Structure 1
Amino acid sequence: MFHREGQKIIVITFILVVAAILLAQFFVPYPGLRIAIQIVALLLLVAVLQFFRNPKRIPIKSFSEIIAPADGKVVVIEEVEETEYFNDKRIQVSIFMSPINVHVTRYPASGEVKYSKYHPGKYLVAWHPKSSTDNERTTVVIHTPMFGDILYRQIAGAMARRIVNYAEVGESVQQGEDAGFIKFGSRIDLFLPLDCGIAVQLNQTVKGAKTCIAAVLEKNEEREII
């Protein structure tokens, strides 16, 4: 299954690849060069199909958990001042997506969308500390029953040139459902309440709609940032 945001690119790539293979077959007289061109064309098609894949995932929905909004590696877990919406301290958890990761964005929790805004910006590498505030990005805030307001931010990387965000203010969204897509390299930041329990570690690989990022602390439990 492939994501709808990749359908046009997949069709165009397929046509170009078929054309390249046929042209090489009939107009390139050297067998070695002809085969090399055809292999490169096929590899390009495979790369595009791989990037836009959209595996079906059925999350175990829970109001007491925040799940990963995307596939990737946890690169930041720290207490920060969030200045766009909350203007107070939050726990930031950042997930870096390499070009080989699934790039679908999924809602990390169920609730009502309170804020959704696009920001044009730069294209710094996604792991750069200033990419969260300087790069092209979208910010979405969801009001949840157990955590209150949580914020996630889609951030373009050095290769990304388009962020797709489906969240609209006032709509009810379901945990794990398709929330958008970031094309060609990216990162997602989560900003969570200080009193939640972080369930992941730095450099941990996570799966969108599957991995628990944070949970509601039980009484007498202490919050720990690993």
Structure 2
Amino acid sequence: MFHKEGYKIMTVTAIILIAINMISYNLIDTYWIKFAILVLSILFFLLIIQFFRNPKRAAVHNNEHIVSPVDGKVVAIEEVYEKEYFKDKRLQISIFMSPINVHVTRHPVGGKVTYSKYHPGKFLVAWHPKSSEENERTTVVVKNEVAGEILYRQIAGALAKRIVNYAEVDTEVVQGSDSGFIKFGSRVDVFVPIGTKVKVEINQKVKGAVSVIADVAS
């Protein structure tokens, strides 16, 4: 199962690779060179399509749980000042996606979208300290009846050049459902209230819509 954001890229890539192989077949006489081009084309196409995998996830809906919005590895858990929306201190949980991870972004909680904004920017490596403020990114806030307002931010990295965000203000969203896509990268930050119980550790691998990263139960 592939994400809809990948169909155009996969189709164009397939056409280009087929054309390259047709040209090599007609113009190159050496068999091993033609075979090498074919093998490299297949490997490259497989690399492209794996970026756009969209496995279906059976999210267990729970208003006290905040689930991971993406597949990846937890790289930061820290108290920070969130200056775009809350303008106060929050607990930030950052998840880094490698090129081999699924790049679908999912809603960490269900509820009403109260804020959604795209920011153009740079393409620093995702682990750069300033990437969350200077890179291309989108910020989304979902208001949940138990968890309150939960903010998550898609952040592009050195490879990611396109962020897709489906969240629209005043719409109701379901926990674990698709909220967007980051093409070829790279990181998502989740901001939860201070005092929220964190259920993950640094370097822990998580699955989008499945892994519980925080619990707001008192």
Q: What is the 5 A alignment of 1:32-71? A: 32-71=32-71
Deviation at 1:21, TM superposition (A): 2.3
- Work out the CA distance in 2 between the residues paired with 1:19 and 1:55: 30
Where does the alignment leave 5 or more consecutive residues of structure 2 unmatched? none
Look up the match of 1:21.
21
How many residue pairs align between the two structures? 218
Compute the TM-score of the two structures, normalised by the length of structure 1: 0.94
CA deviation map 1:47-106 (0-9, x unaligned): 111111111111111111000000000000001110000011100000001111000000
Give the Cα–Cα distance (whole angstroms) in 1 for the partners of residues 177 and 185 of structure 2: 21
Cα contact 1:144–1:150 (8 A) shared by 2: yes
What is the alpha-carbon distance in structure 1 between the residues aligned to residue 173 and residue 111 of structure 2?
Answer: 6
In the alignment, which residue of structure 2 is the partner of 1:135? 135
1:90 corresponding residue in structure 2: 90
* CA RMSD after TM alignment: 0.9
2:32 maps to a residue whose letter is G
Shift of 1:22: 2.4
Distance 1:152 1:20 in 2: 41
Q: Normalising by the residue count of structure 2, what TM-score does the alignment of the two structures yield?
A: 0.98
Distance 1:73 1:128 in 2: 16
| Unpaired stretches in structure 1, ≥5 consecutive residues | 219-226
Cα deviation code 1:134-167 (max 9, x no counterpart) = 1010000110111111100000001111100000
2:189 is paired with a residue whose SS is strand
Once residues 132 and 146 of structure 2 are traced to their aligned partners in structure 1, the CA distance between those partners, rounded to angstroms, is: 26
SS at 2:116's partner residue? strand
Paired with 2:176 and 2:89, the residues of 1 have a C-alpha distance of 26
Residue aligned with 2:6, SS: helix
